[in-house]
A = this chain, B = another copy of it.
Amino acid sequence: MAAPALHAVILAGGAGERFWPASRQRFPKPFLQVVGGRTLLAATLERARRFAARDRVWVVCGREHAAAVRRATRLPAARVLAEPRRRNTAMAVAFAAQHIAARDPDAVLAILPADHHIPDARAFASAIRKAAAAARDRASLVTLGVKPTRADTGYGYIQVGAAADRRHPGLRCARRFVEKPDAARARRYLKRGDYLWNAGIFVFTARAILEETQRCAPELHRALGPLRRAPRARSGAPLERAYRAAPSLPLDVAILERSRRVWTLPVAFHWSDVGTWLSLAEELGVRPGRTRVLDGELLFDEGRGNLVWGDRRAVALLGVEGMAVIDTGDVLLVTKLDRSPDVRAVVASLKRRGRRDVL
């Protein structure tokens, strides 16, 4: 008997708000070309194709981005799952699991955020295959845990415990999920060695995640009712009803932190969620004395250590260090790089003021 098929489920529903003003409601972060010479979505698709056959690659995205995703990925409409509203990752994954299980009841799903940066696609695919084997054999939910290389306060962590079994070397039990720590705790985690970055990359069978949804997230399970009764629906009334009823929760919070079937595969490849202008600057090698420019022209940079996104404009920086200057056609953001996680506050303020024109 052939092994159950491995599907890639790319989650492209995030807003990437901390990447404002480059990331916009109509043109969110997966569509940006910020690192590695192509869009984050294209790079994710390429990684997915290393372990999943073309007809087993799926993208879940907001309905308003479905056409752009189809154009960018050249996936057929049937494999772009358009969400009628944003309900966070638990619902996105549940929708995909339900939909794929209706076609392939033994499907194994690898959940990939569309906006991360993982340069070593080969190591990534190898880890996913290992995780998939464990997910199948043990009917477990396997998370990838990235070995930390610095005391990062911008990531969530997974504390790992005992090894799983000899058939799956490396696999550890996931003892605890912890939210973004403060600097002191992050340093402690780094030192201890049993804390890994939660990369938001998960592998499980469709069956296991739906069972755990029922057990750990009954509200979400109930919301899926209309989709269970119309298992091939990917639009129309059943989907609308399901999304209207669904709670808006991350998969970690809704299920992984509560399930007893969660295991972690530690990985050591380079990974970044490119979550903020600061983390992009780090990816691009910005450091004191070294500025990096994405697009645009840097005319003068006496300060250095900056990140510049120049649109079509030439940029001159004088006495400026550790800054991001992000210049889209219509909006200019100037921020200290170490404040860039707070770009979210700018976006929140614009939302409160109804400034859809710049969101």
Contact = CB atoms under 8 A, between A and B. Distances in A.
Interface of A: 21, 299-300, 302, 310, 313-320, 323, 325, 327, 329-336, 338-340, 342-343, 345-346, 349-350, 355, 358
B332 A319 contact: no
Given A319-B339, A336-B320, A340-B318, A331 B21 contact: no
Contacts of A319: 335-336, 338-339, 342
Question: Lowest 6 A-B CB distances belong to which pairs?
Answer: A319-B339, A319-B336, A318-B335, A300-B346, A316-B333, A315-B332
Contacts of A325: 332, 334
A255 to B, nearest CB: 35
Contacts of A329: 313
B313 A350 contact: no
A331 B313 contact: yes
Select the residue from A317, A332, A343, A358 with max chain B CB neighbours within 10 A.
A332
A317 B21 CA distance: 12
Contacts of A21: 316
Contacts of A334: 315-318, 320, 323, 325, 334
A314 B346 contact: no
User: Is chain A's interface secondary structure helix, strand, loop, or mixed overall?
Assistant: mixed
A331 B349 contact: no
Contacts of A310: 332
Nearest to A355: B299
A43 B327 CA distance: 34
B299 A358 contact: yes
Nearest to A318: B335
A9 B108 CA distance: 84
Contacts of A349: 300
A316 B339 CA distance: 13
A328 to B, nearest CB: 9
A299 B330 contact: no
A251 to B, nearest CB: 30
22 contacts: A21-B316, A299-B355, A300-B349, A300-B350, A313-B327, A314-B332, A314-B358, A315-B331, A315-B332, A315-B334, A316-B334, A318-B334, A318-B335, A318-B343, A318-B345, A319-B335, A319-B338, A319-B339, A319-B342, A320-B323, A320-B334, A327-B332
B302 A345 contact: yes
B318 A339 contact: yes
Nearest to A317: B334
B342 A316 contact: no
A325 B318 CA distance: 11
Contact of A318 (B299, B316, B333, B355): B333
A310 to B, nearest CB: 8
Contact of A331 (B314, B331, B335): B314
Contact of A336 (B316, B318, B339, B340): B318
Contact of A316 (B299, B323, B332): B332
A285 B315 CA distance: 26
Contacts of A345: 302, 318
Nearest to A329: B313
A311 to B, nearest CB: 9
Contacts of A338: 319
Taking each of A319, A327, A333, A336, which has the highest tally of chain B beta carbons within 10 Å of its own beta carbon?
A319
A327 B332 CA distance: 9
A81 to B, nearest CB: 34
